[in-house]
């Protein structure tokens, strides 16, 4: 049986709801612990639950040609997984897997649809968030095509730090290669360059951000554009 309490809702989307709506919504959620590598959704598969990360990170991945894949988005405490339901589509467009383990709030689809019906505030909020996600997906497409691997890696590290709420996290060369759509040697060169400038420390998959301000300078402008879009639309 779903259980929770309003004090557990530290997701930024849920925090933006009016108090009455927020309390009712969170009461219909269950608090769970997401595990690293756990698959939450598959492309074309029915959606059974929606997720609101509170201190965890979900990677959104699209297959490229059957063998390769590319990360197109990240979801942390600023967002949710299962957004297509507000459009009436109950299948997942992307692969969603847990990149950073930790707590999240989960709600089944039937309860979520009911909440959408009874809460105009929730509808308005998630439509705004949908616009932000579309904007960020377009920004990621342009970033992947036009910007150098080092700048894209810096952007990804900043985005992950924002969502992981930590300066240190674990990620393999292989995963970063899939994330950035490059060969592992490209990841090695980019990470080595950032490390040589004392922006990060990277050893055997353990990354520590040493100089966030410097990393923001090394990043392409897409990171700042993403944050500006969220702040402008979500307030």
Evaluate if residue 53 carries a pLDDT over 90.
yes
| 40 plus 121 within the same structural domain | yes
| Residue after which a domain boundary falls, among 77, 107, 142 | 142
In the block, residue with structure tokens 């966030």: 212
206 has which bridge partners? 170, 203
Give Cα 89 to chain centroid, integer Å: 20
Give the CATH number, domain containing residue 185. 1.10.10.10
Beta strand residue intervals within the chain, DSSP E: 30-34, 39-41, 49-53, 57-63, 69-75, 95-100, 102-108, 168-170, 200-203, 206-209
| 112 plus 174 within the same structural domain | no
pLDDT of residue 1: 36
> Domain span at residue 47?
6-142
Determine how many CB atoms are found less than 10 A away from the CB of residue 81.
22
> What is the mean pLDDT of the segment spanning 32-56?
96
Angle at 59 between CA 53 and CA 62, to 5 degrees: 140
Whether 228 maps to a domain, the answer reads no
| Calpha distance 76→60 (Å, rounded) | 11
In the block, residue with structure tokens 């090394």: 218
Reported pTM: 0.90
Write out pLDDT tens, residues 155-167. Answer: 999 999 999 899 9
| 127 plus 159 within the same structural domain | no
| 128 contacts: CB under 8 Å, gap ≥ 6 | 233, 234
How confident is residue 66, by pLDDT bands cut at 50, 70 and 90? low
> What is the mean pLDDT of the segment spanning 202-215?
94
| Residue after which a domain boundary falls, among 142, 173, 207 | 142
Evaluate if residue 67 carries a pLDDT over 70.
no
């Amino acid at each position: 049986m779903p259980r929770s309490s309003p004090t557990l809702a530290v997701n930024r989307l849920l925090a933006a709801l009016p108090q009455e709506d927020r309390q009712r919504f969170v009461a219909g959620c269950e608090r769970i612990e997401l595990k690293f590598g756990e698959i939450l959704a598959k492309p074309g598969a029915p959606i059974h639950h929606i997720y609101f990360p509170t201190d965890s990170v979900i990677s959104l991945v699209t297959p490229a040609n059957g063998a390769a894949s590319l990360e197109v988005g990240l979801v942390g405490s600023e967002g949710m997984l299962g957004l297509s339901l507000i459009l009436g589509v109950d299948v997942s467009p992307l692969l969603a897997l847990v990149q950073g383990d930790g707590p999240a709030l989960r709600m089944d689809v039937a309860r979520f649809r009911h909440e959408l019906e009874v809460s105009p505030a929730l509808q308005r909020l998630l439509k705004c968030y949908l616009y932000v996600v579309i904007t960020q997906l377009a920004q990621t497409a342009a970033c992947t095509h036009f910007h150098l691997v080092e700048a894209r890696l810096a952007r990804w590290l900043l985005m992950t730090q924002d969502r992981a709420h930590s300066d240190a996290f674990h990620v393999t060369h292989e995963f970063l290669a899939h994330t950035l759509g490059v060969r592992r040697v490209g990841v090695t060169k980019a990470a080595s360059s950032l490390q040589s400038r004392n922006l990060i420390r990277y050893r055997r998959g353990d990354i520590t951000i040493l100089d966030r301000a410097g990393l923001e300078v090394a990043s392409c402008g897409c990171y700042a554009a993403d944050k500006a879009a969220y702040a402008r639309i979500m307030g």
